[in-house]
Amino acid sequence: MGQAQPGGRGTDTSVAVCYISPEASCRGKSTEEALQQLAEQVVKFNQLGPIVICGDFNARCGSLEAESESLPTRRVIDSVKNSQGEAFVDFLRSVDMCVVNGRKGRDMVTCVSDKGRSVVDYCVVGVENFDMIHDFHVTTMRESIDEMRLKGEVTRVHDHSLVQWEMLMNGVEHKDGKGSQDSNKKRYVVPENYLEANVEDIRRLAQRVASMGKDQKAIDEVYDELVGIMNSGLREITMKGNERRQP
């Protein structure tokens, strides 16, 4: 998991990307094993602050819900469920998290292929942190290609859609160092073009990691540089008192 640290200890936001192989695949770990490992990571990083997970879980949930009275009802656009979807919902319940898809923003199917249309890619967030996700929307690859106005012939279009959102992250400035409810709140928005200008810097860091072996000090240095790059791409806004940005 990667971390953005706008607010100091206890207010870090951990962001993770996840892929779980289809239930019929012989590659990688079983669904239960992968979700158990993910749950352990959630418990570990939850001590630091909010967690957001995005990825292809190959889980079709149908109308299955990780119920919570504080959440809006999820709009179901893929009524099919599979055993991987059932295991995924059990995982959500066990760690008190929920999917954002279908609950806010522009929802669509996330996989369009010769086999049909389905929802298998999700943005997942802790139930208590649901309001930090804004401007959620799903865009098919064909729509993305049209938006980017790519030149030349497109010979292959990926079957998975682009899942996007903005995150509103809280940090509080304290005059006395101990905290005050009257302090101005700093909030950090993750823009849609987040880190686009830093692709080469991130690629360079990846190359360094690949060549450094098990040198923990060097790995820590690369990690610090990556966190700095991630923080530099955030857009800061300041709000006073209980003022709150609406989705």
The residue extents of the domains of the chain are 2-166
pLDDT for residue 176: 38
d(CA 126, CA 60) in angstroms, rounded, equals 20
pLDDT for residue 243: 46
Contacts of 225 (CB under 8 A, 6+ apart): 205
Low-confidence ranges of the chain (pLDDT < 50): 5-9, 171-183, 241-247
Does the CA dihedral 92-98-99-102 come out positive or negative? positive
H helices present in the chain, as ranges: 31-45, 83-95, 141-148, 199-211, 216-232
pTM recorded for the entire structure: 0.65
pLDDT for residue 245: 45
